[in-house]
Structures are given as C-alpha cells and as structure tokens.
C-alpha cells in the first residue's frame, strides 16, 4: 500500500511538468497578439509595446519563455500577470473560495444524490422511482445558467433567503445557494448511477445469501449492497471535484464569485500565459490527488481490489 | 482612446460598458434633471459598479475605464469637463491664454494641494508631462504629449518612426534604450516661468488645446512620484482631487474616501465611494435591484430587451447620449481591392436600414448616425452623410448597378466576444436584400485576434469599428480616424484635401472658424465614404433606491461628486 502511494506520487512529477508545458505551448499558440486589444481600437505606441514585450518575455521563442518560467517556478515564483498582480496572490485568494464552493456542491450531490438513488433503487417501478427519474431528467436537461439565474431571482431577489451575490469574503452561507446550483446537475447523475448499480447488485447472489441469513433489509441494502454500488459513484464524484474547481465559470459569473474558473477564462482571453499556467497547474495537481484518493477508496469499498 | 481592453472592453462601443471617464469631478449643486428625492445631504457611502484595472493607477498608463473611473476621482487637472455638457471648465488652471494657438501661457490657481501635503505648482505639470512622454518610460498614453514641441526627441533612438508603428514587430526596438538613449529628457515646448505659471509651445497650431487638457493623462504628479518612477504611486496614487484611494483589494473592490483637505472648486458629497468589481454586469444589475449596489453604469442586454430596466428600476434609470460612434469600415486597398469604388461604398451604406436595426435588435439604445461626429460635441452638424446614410433600397440598388455590381460574397467581420453578432447579421441582411448580393457576418474569436487582423491589413471584406472620444471635440472624431497615417485609421484612408482642412482648422483663430473647417472636412467623407456611419451611443444606467442626485456625464460615467445618499 505504502509503496503504491509512493509510486503514484512520483508519477505525478512528469505529469505536472508535461501539463504545464502543454498549457504554456497552447496559450503561446493562440492567435491574436496580447497587445492588439490593449490600447483600444488604436495600435499601442511603439515605446509601450516594446516595454510590455520585454517585461513579459514576449520577444523570446517558446522554449526560452518556458525555461524562464520554469526557472522562476523553481524559486516558488509563479510570475506576474499583465495587470502586474502576482499570480500567487490571486491563486491564494481564489482557491479557498472555489474549494469551499466545490465542497458544498459535492456534499450536496452526495447526500441528496445517494439518498434519492437508494430510495428509487429499492422501490423500483414505484412512484418514488418515477419521481426521481423524471426530476433528474429535468435537471440534466436544463443548462446551469438557467438554473442559476432562476435560483438567484427566486431565492435571492424575490424571497430574500440568500444573498443575491457573494461578497469578497465569500462565507459558507453565501456560497450555499451557488454551491447547490453547481451541484445540481452532478446530483442528477449521482442519483441515477446509484440507482442503476443498486438495482443490479440487489439481484446478486451475495445479497440473496445475506437475506437468507436473516439479515434485516436495512443491513442488506445499506451495508452489503450499497457499499459495492458506490464504486462508480466515487469515481464520478472524484473526477467531478476537479471539474467543479475549474469549471464553475457560469456559476461564478452569475453570483459574482471571485473563483478560479473565471480567472482562467479571463486570463486565456487576455493571452496571459503565466496566469493560465499557474492556475491550471494547481488544478492538475488537484486532479491527480483526487484520482489517487479514489483509487485508494476502491480498496476500502471492495476488499477484492487490492493495491499491494 | 480610453476604453477598450480585451475582456472588459470587448463590448467596446456597443455595451456602453466602458465609456471614457474624462470627467468625474462635478459641481456641488444638485442636478435638477435626474434627482428624484432631492434631499441633498453630504456624507454617507455609495457603491459603484467597477471592474479590474488593467494597469497601475498612473495617469499616463490608464487608458480604460476600470482604472480611469477611480483615478478621475483622485486627480484634478487643469480643466475639467462639465458633467452635463462636457464643455471644458477651468479647474486647477486659472486661465489658459494664447494669441496664436501655438504659444500658450497657463496660470494656476493657488492653494491646490496633493494629498501628501505638497502644493500643486507649475513644475508638477511640466515634470509629469516630460515623464509621460519620455521614451524609456514606455507609457500607454504618451501620444497625448506628441502635441508639444520637441516630443520626437524623447523617443528611444532605436525607433524608426518612418517604418510605421512597428507594434506588431517583436524586434521593433530596444525597450530599455540601452546604448541608444533619447536625444532629450524634457520637452522643449514646456517651460516653467514661476511657481504658478508655465508656458506651452505646440508643434503645430492647435485650436482645442484647452479641451484636450481635461484628459486624465494630463494630471499633475507630485514630486514623490519621480523618486521611484511611480512604483509607489501606481498602487497608491497621490492626486489633488476630491477623493483618496484608501484601499485596492485586488479582485474585489476599490475604496475611496473623501479628501478632507480638498480646497478646489468641485468637492464631493459622499464620504466614501466603493467600486465593487463584477465579472458580469448581469450580477451587478441584480444587486442594484436588491439595493446591494448603488450605481450601475451599464445595464445588461437582457434588461435592455423590451426595456425591462424601466419596470425593474422605475425612476431610477437614464439613457444618456454619450460620445461614442459605431461604424462599418471598408478594408484598405492593400487588404482587399473589391471595395475601392466609392459608388459601391455609398450604395452599401444606403442599403442599411439603421433605424429598424436600432429598434429591433438594439432595443432603441442607439441613435442612427447621420454623419461621422457625435451630436454631443461642440461643432456637430447633423446630416453630414446626407442621403447615403438614409435607407433607400431602390436608390441603393440603382447606384449599385451603376457602380458595376459586386462579384463574390460580401462579409462584415466582428469580434465574437463582444455583443455584435445580432446587428452585423442584420446589417448584412439589409444589404443582401436591397442589393441582391450575398452577405455574411463573419465572427472572429475575440477582440485581440480581430484587431491583429485589422492593424496587419489582413482583413478581407468589411469589418465593424467603434470609437469613443478621448476629449469632447469634433476634432477627436475626425483627425485620429481619417487623417493620413493616423493611429486609428483602419481603412488607411488618405485624402490630401481632408488633411489640409484638418491643419487649417487647428490653426483657426476661434472656435467657430475651426468648427466650420472641421465640418467642411467631415463633408468630404461623404464622397469617399471610407467608413459607413452606423449609430451614436447611449449609456443606459440604473441606480438603487438609496441614492439621489445621480448625474450621468456625456462620457457615460457617473458624476461622483454630485451623488448623495438619501
């Protein structure tokens, strides 16, 4: 087990370096000059353009630019954006907010999703099953920005239960509504995944054995069946956590949350390679760790899977 | 041009999102036009919609509204623009005199103080302008100082001015001027006479110098600025204006407090102004509805549709004509020869039904253009474009046939990150229907890509362009856009007669003569039609129930000195 974890951690190093290079190269290859939109609808004056290029190493070819970036990175310096703000400062401010948002979304989708999945799984074909199926279908079919805007309008503006937008402090309470909006679509998938797996596993031999042994219904379902049925759900949720961190752009815009998704979007837009690489590298690391945790959880959920 | 920088500025002229903020120091008399409950009392705090500044808060490096709106409340200039009419009014300057439009004498009012306690003296202006223009400092707004005599001597030796702008050539020059220092460190056209007087000599005759001097870039800088070349100033600007920048919390807000020692003519009313940064105006709009935000300078498109904002914010909204101009430009001959016939260009212009597009697509938030100059500036003359900007499908078709028709497909390029899809497509439809040609609106992924194509003269087919004024003058709508070799002359238009009139107008002895010359020059554009006028902009703004005496300037910004809390 320990050996397995060490091996996985070592493997992360080349992945992270490779990912930063790929991202850097992609931003570099994007069409459009970072200076083209900077001075309005007139070209920047040559003195400013030259200074700007020199300050941000834009005159160098890609490998040298990247080498300079890595050199700074090795000293713990993530660089400065075109707006002359330190990338590290931005990330330090934004990642905690986005993480809180993602945690709320994950908890929401796990609790409600698994509960709905179990209920509809054990009452297959009954009213509750159909209700869950139809309601999840509706949630999946509606785009996030519609759900978000509607929730903001109804619960924020009309009823006044939640703040309309999130303040710079971004407290847990303020993030509750955005988090639920963000988790809504994943919730639908979690419910459906849980239900399908549960229904399948309920027909398995070991469940019949458990029932024949005289175990209570709650124990048969809750311990024996559900544990096995959760493997695909855990895989999904693990990957989803990373996705929610970087992909919450729409929710962040609607509720004016100063998160990572919007930051990456803006930076790509302004061809700000340093900012994009910094933010995405952290995302890559999060993804890698989530993957590791998910793989380790497999062993816990199903003892037949071993990492030794 | 103040305004467009990528993300924020993509909307450029369309969304009125970033109208230039030349003025903000306003009168202390409450406005009658927009005040709802005129219980004008000083004090209190207001929140204003803000966005992320693209540069440090240095006047010469601020060319967009996110930073500009903040800086404008912090600095005072020689003149300020009247918040209602945009006419220049003396602020720090007591008077600006000239007998020949080339030699000016500026006398300062005594007693203006920077927030670090030092007095504003003549040398603070001269030093500031020298620094702003000095090549190695590489400031964004350095071209504003080209008007002074001796400006070229401050360029780095390596720049070859004759080789075009060079901004797209990475090897354009040695940025630090290493080994190639500029010829001079100071502008020969500026001379300090005594503490409260200085003299200006311009390269050519300029009839509207006083109007230009209200732009933020001309603000005086305190002595402390030059100690570290503005490094400290950039995060903590020291101005002589009615407000002080107390804190800039990156990504969330900028807090201004009232300058207690302000002795000038245009003090503010409220004690605290907070610019709250939003990524999306939609969220800001919802906050105005919920009274979480007081002033919003750009109502989002969703609320403009069907004029929903009028019911959402009853008696708390205004649509104000501002100094912006939207157009469709023809490609330069180098990029695309197929539009070279002026008759063809006139026919295309006549084939566009501006009024219907404004009403149906843009929810009436623009005014169809009848010329190239915004109605809000002094010297505007209606109908400069004449019949060519009046929709007439039959006449357009006749002219089109006379011009020999058009082979192939017409295109109108636009940047897809701004809100331009709807109207460019509608304009194309209108052209296609009237002239019986194929016309397609062609998106480019974003503003940066779009502008690179245009400035590189690689853009084939027509493309959208926009302009927002730097300072309220008819000259600003003509010279930078259609003068031979001018910075924003995207169609590479060149007409010696036009250039001659520009020079004559600048030398004119009085405003009326100058305006007449400018109008004459504008009339020339009708014959060549290098650019199709589309419409003039309006800023649609809204405010909360907590504020009164809200006044919108012709720059589309709020006059922060007149607003009060109820």
> How many domains is chain A built from?
1
Tokens standing for residue B207: 């009839």
How confident is residue B165, by pLDDT bands cut at 50, 70 and 90?
Answer: very low
- The pLDDT assigned to B425 comes to 94
- The pLDDT assigned to A308 comes to 63
Q: Is residue A70 in a domain?
A: no
Q: Is residue A122 in a domain?
A: yes
Chain B residues touching A269 at Cβ < 8 A: 6-7, 417, 446
pLDDT digit string, tens, across residues A254-283: 898 888 888 888 888 777 888 888 888 888
How confident is residue B424, by pLDDT bands cut at 50, 70 and 90?
Answer: very high
Q: Is residue A6 in a domain?
A: no
Candidates B451, B480, B482, partner chain A, best to mutate (most A CBs within 10 A): B451
- The pLDDT assigned to B192 comes to 94
Q: How many residues does chain A have?
A: 308
A40 closest CB neighbour out of B4, B55, B171? B4
Tokens standing for residue A2: 């320990």
Contact B55 A84 (CB under 8 A): yes
Q: How many residues does chain B have?
A: 566
For residue B381, give how far its alpha carbon lies from the nearest alpha carbon of chain A (Å). 25
Q: Is residue A142 in a domain?
A: yes
For residue A45, give how far its alpha carbon lies from the nearest alpha carbon of chain B (Å). 7
- The pLDDT assigned to B263 comes to 84
Contact A83 B54 (CB under 8 A): yes
Candidates A38, A92, A162, A249, partner chain B, best to mutate (most B CBs within 10 A): A38
Contact B138 A168 (CB under 8 A): no
A157 closest CB neighbour out of B280, B289, B451? B289
What integer best gives the mean pLDDT of chain B? 85
CA atoms of B372 and B357, how far apart (whole Å): 18
Tokens standing for residue B494: 């060149």
- How much is the average pLDDT of A89-107? 90
How many beta-carbon pairs below 8 A join chains A and B? 188
Statement: residue B38 has pLDDT above 50:
no
CA–CA distances in Å: residue B530 to residues B13, B331, B390, B431, B527: 19, 9, 17, 17, 9
Q: Is residue A28 in a domain?
A: no
Contact A253 B171 (CB under 8 A): no
Contact A40 B292 (CB under 8 A): no
- How much is the average pLDDT of A153-164? 88
Contact A48 B417 (CB under 8 A): no
Give kind and range of the element (H or E) at residue B525. helix B511-528
Contact A93 B52 (CB under 8 A): no
Chain A residues touching B531 at Cβ < 8 A: none
For residue B164, give how far its alpha carbon lies from the nearest alpha carbon of chain A (Å). 9
For residue A5, give how far its alpha carbon lies from the nearest alpha carbon of chain B (Å). 38
- How much is the average pLDDT of B222-237? 91
Statement: residue A157 has pLDDT above 50:
yes
A43 closest CB neighbour out of B2, B142, B487? B487
Chain A residues touching B287 at Cβ < 8 A: 164-165, 256
- How much is the average pLDDT of B462-481? 90
Are residues B516 and B507 in contact, defined by beta-carbon separation less than 8 angstroms?
Answer: no
Its ipTM equals 0.78
Statement: residue B103 has pLDDT above 70:
yes
Comparing C-alpha atoms, which of B252, B295, A151 is closest to residue A163?
A151
Q: Which one of B63-67, B91-95, B174-178 scores highest in mean pLDDT?
A: B91-95
Tokens standing for residue B71: 């800086």
Are residues B389 and B426 in contact, defined by beta-carbon separation less than 8 angstroms?
Answer: no
H-state helical runs in B183-339: 209-212, 231-235, 281-289, 301-304, 308-312
Share of chain B above pLDDT 90, in %: 54
Contact B280 A51 (CB under 8 A): no
Are residues B242 and B151 in contact, defined by beta-carbon separation less than 8 angstroms?
Answer: no
Chain A residues touching B445 at Cβ < 8 A: 31-32
- The pLDDT assigned to B177 comes to 62
CA atoms of B76 and B96, how far apart (whole Å): 16
Q: Is residue A282 in a domain?
A: no
Domain that holds residue A195: 88-269
Statement: residue B26 has pLDDT above 50:
no
For residue B279, give how far its alpha carbon lies from the nearest alpha carbon of chain A (Å). 6
Among A18-22, B6-10, B479-483, the minimum mean pLDDT is found in B6-10
In terms of CA atoms, which chain A residue is nearest residue B278?
A256
Q: Is residue A94 in a domain?
A: yes
In terms of CA atoms, which chain B residue is nearest residue A35?
B448
- The pLDDT assigned to B8 comes to 32
Tokens standing for residue B464: 């959208």
Statement: residue B31 has pLDDT above 80:
no
Statement: residue B2 has pLDDT above 80:
no
pLDDT digit string, tens, across residues B295-351: 999 898 888 888 889 999 999 999 999 999 999 999 998 888 899 999 999 999 999
Are residues B253 and A93 in contact, defined by beta-carbon separation less than 8 angstroms?
Answer: no
How confident is residue A21, by pLDDT bands cut at 50, 70 and 90?
Answer: confident
B452 closest CB neighbour out of A33, A47, A266? A33
Contact A44 B167 (CB under 8 A): yes
What does the DSSP 8-state code read for residue A45? Answer: P
Contact A33 B448 (CB under 8 A): yes
- How much is the average pLDDT of B409-419? 88
Contact B286 A156 (CB under 8 A): yes
CA atoms of B264 and B504, how far apart (whole Å): 36
HEC profile for A48-71? HHHHHHHHCCCCCCHHHHHHHHHH
Statement: residue A66 has pLDDT above 80:
yes
How confident is residue A112, by pLDDT bands cut at 50, 70 and 90?
Answer: very high
How confident is residue B10, by pLDDT bands cut at 50, 70 and 90?
Answer: very low
Q: Is residue A119 in a domain?
A: yes
Write the CB contacts of B516 (distance below 8 Å, at least 6 apart in sequence).
Answer: none
pLDDT digit string, tens, across residues A196-250: 999 888 888 888 898 898 888 888 888 888 888 888 888 888 888 888 887 788 8
- The pLDDT assigned to A37 comes to 64
Chain B residues touching A165 at Cβ < 8 A: 278, 283-284, 286-287, 292
In terms of CA atoms, which chain B residue is nearest residue A153?
B286
Statement: residue B173 has pLDDT above 50:
no
Candidates B6, B176, B417, partner chain A, best to mutate (most A CBs within 10 A): B6
Statement: residue B210 has pLDDT above 60:
yes
pLDDT digit string, tens, across residues B44-55: 999 999 988 888
Q: Each residue of B448-458: b (16+ CB within 10 Å) or e?
A: bbbbbbbbebe
How confident is residue B273, by pLDDT bands cut at 50, 70 and 90?
Answer: very high
* DSSP secondary structure of B446-474: SHHHHHHHHHTT---SEEEEEEE-SSS-G
For residue B32, give how far its alpha carbon lies from the nearest alpha carbon of chain A (Å). 31
pLDDT digit string, tens, across residues B359-405: 988 888 899 999 999 999 988 999 999 899 999 999 999 999 999 98
Contact A43 B165 (CB under 8 A): yes
Contact B283 A253 (CB under 8 A): yes
- The pLDDT assigned to B224 comes to 93
CATH number of the domain at A228, please: 1.10.3720.10
pLDDT digit string, tens, across residues B487-512: 788 899 999 999 999 999 988 888 88
- How much is the average pLDDT of B520-533? 93
- The pLDDT assigned to B306 comes to 82
How confident is residue A36, by pLDDT bands cut at 50, 70 and 90?
Answer: low
- How much is the average pLDDT of A51-72? 82
Chain B residues touching A255 at Cβ < 8 A: 283
Tokens standing for residue B238: 């020291």
Chain B residues touching A86 at Cβ < 8 A: none
What integer best gives the mean pLDDT of chain A? 86
Q: Name the 3-class secondary structure at A308.
A: coil
A50 closest CB neighbour out of B52, B175, B467? B175
HEC profile for B267-287? CCCCCEEEEEECCCHHHHHHH
Contact A269 B446 (CB under 8 A): yes
How far out from the chain centre does Cα B150 lie? Answer: 26
How confident is residue B4, by pLDDT bands cut at 50, 70 and 90?
Answer: very low
CA atoms of A52 and A46, how far apart (whole Å): 10
Contact B290 A157 (CB under 8 A): yes
In terms of CA atoms, which chain B residue is nearest residue A266?
B7
């Amino acid at each position: 087990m320990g050996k397995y974890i060490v091996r996985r951690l070592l493997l992360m190093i080349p992945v992270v370096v490779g990912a930063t290079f790929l991202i850097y190269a992609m931003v570099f290859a994007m069409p459009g000059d970072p200076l083209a939109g900077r001075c309005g609808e007139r070209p920047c004056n040559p003195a400013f353009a030259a200074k700007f290029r020199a300050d941000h190493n834009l005159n160098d070819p890609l490998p040298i630019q990247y080498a300079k970036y890595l050199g700074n990175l090795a000293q713990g310096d993530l660089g400065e954006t075109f707006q002359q703000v330190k990338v590290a400062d931005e990330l330090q401010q934004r990642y905690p907010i986005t993480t809180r948002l993602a945690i709320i979304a994950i908890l929401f989708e796990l609790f409600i999703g698994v509960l709905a999945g179990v209920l509809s799984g054990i009452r297959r074909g009954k009213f509750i099953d159909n209700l869950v199926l139809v309601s999840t279908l509706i949630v999946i079919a509606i785009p996030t920005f519609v759900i978000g805007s509607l929730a903001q309008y109804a619960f924020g503006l009309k009823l006044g239960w939640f703040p309309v937008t999130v303040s710079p402090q971004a407290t847990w309470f303020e993030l509750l509504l955005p988090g639920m909006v963000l988790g809504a679509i994943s919730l639908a998938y979690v419910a459906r995944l849980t239900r399908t797996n549960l229904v399948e596993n309920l027909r398995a031999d070991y469940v019949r054995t458990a029932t024949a042994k005289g175990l209570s219904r709650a124990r048969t379902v809750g311990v024996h069946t559900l544990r096995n049925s959760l493997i695909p759900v855990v895989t999904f949720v693990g990957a989803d956590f990373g996705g929610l961190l970087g992909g919450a752009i729409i929710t962040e815009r609607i509720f004016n949350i100063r998160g990572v998704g919007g930051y990456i979007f803006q930076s790509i837009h302004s061809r700000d390679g340093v900012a994009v690489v910094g933010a995405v590298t952290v995302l890559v690391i999060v993804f890698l760790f989530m993957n590791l945790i998910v793989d380790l959880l497999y062993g816990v959920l199903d003892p037949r899977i071993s990492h030794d | 041009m103040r305004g467009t920088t990528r993300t924020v500025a993509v909307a450029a002229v369309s969304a009125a999102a970033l109208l230039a903020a030349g003025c903000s120091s306003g009168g202390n008399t409450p406005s009658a036009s927009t005040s709802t409950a005129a219980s004008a009392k000083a004090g209190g705090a207001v929140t204003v919609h803000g966005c992320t500044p693209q540069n440090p808060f240095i006047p010469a490096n601020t060319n967009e509204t996110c930073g500009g709106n903040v800086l404008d409340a912090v600095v005072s200039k020689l003149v300020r623009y009247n918040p209602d009419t945009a006419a220049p009014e003396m602020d720090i300057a007591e008077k600006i005199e000239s007998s020949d439009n080339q030699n000016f004498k500026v006398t300062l009012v005594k007693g203006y103080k920077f927030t670090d306690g030092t007095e504003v003296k003549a040398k603070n202006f001269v030093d500031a302008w020298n620094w702003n223009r000095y090549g190695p400092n590489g400031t964004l707004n350095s071209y504003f100082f080209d008007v002074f005599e001796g400006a070229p001597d401050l360029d780095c030796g390596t720049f070859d001015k004759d080789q075009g702008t060079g901004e797209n050539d990475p090897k354009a020059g040695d940025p630090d001027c290493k080994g190639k220092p500029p010829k001079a460190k100071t502008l020969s056209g500026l001379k300090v006479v005594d503490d409260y007087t200085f003299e200006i000599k311009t390269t050519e005759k300029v009839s509207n110098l006083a109007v230009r001097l209200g732009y933020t870039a001309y603000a005086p800088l305190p002595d402390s600025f030059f100690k570290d070349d503005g490094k400290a100033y950039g995060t903590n600007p020291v101005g002589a204006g009615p407000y002080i920048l107390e804190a800039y919390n990156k990504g969330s807000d900028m807090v201004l407090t009232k300058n207690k020692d302000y002795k000038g003519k245009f003090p503010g009313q409220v004690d605290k102004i907070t610019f709250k940064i939003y990524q999306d105006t939609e969220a800001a709009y919802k906050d105005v509805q919920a009274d979480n935000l007081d002033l919003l300078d750009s109502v989002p498109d969703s609320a403009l549709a069907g004029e929903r904002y009028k019911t959402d914010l009853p008696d708390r909204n205004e649509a104000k004509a501002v100094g912006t101009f939207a157009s469709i430009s023809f490609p330069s001959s180098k990029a695309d020869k197929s539009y070279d016939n002026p008759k063809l260009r006139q026919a295309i212009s006549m084939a566009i039904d501006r009024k219907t597009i404004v009403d149906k697509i843009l929810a009436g938030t623009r005014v169809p253009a009848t010329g190239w100059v915004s109605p809000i500036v002094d010297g505007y003359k209606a109908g400069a474009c004449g019949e060519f900007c009046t929709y007439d499908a039959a006449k357009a078709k006749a002219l089109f046939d006379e011009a020999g028709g058009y082979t192939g497909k017409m295109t109108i390029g636009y940047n897809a990150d701004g809100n331009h899809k709807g109207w460019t497509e509608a304009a194309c439809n209108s052209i296609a229907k009237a002239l019986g040609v194929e016309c397609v609106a062609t998106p480019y992924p974003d503003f940066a890509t779009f502008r690179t194509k245009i400035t590189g003269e690689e853009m084939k087919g027509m493309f959208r362009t926009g302009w927002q004024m730097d300072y309220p003058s008819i000259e600003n709508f003509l010279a930078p856009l259609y003068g031979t070799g001018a910075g924003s002359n995207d169609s590479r238009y060149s007409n010696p007669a036009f250039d001659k009139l520009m020079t004559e107008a600048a030398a004119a002895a009085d405003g009326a003569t100058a305006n007449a010359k400018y109008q004459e020059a504008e009339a020339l554009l009708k014959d060549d039609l290098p650019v199709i006028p589309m419409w003039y902009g309006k800023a649609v703004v809204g405010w909360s129930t907590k504020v009164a005496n809200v006044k919108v300037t012709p720059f589309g910004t709020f006059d922060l000195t007149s607003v009060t809390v109820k």
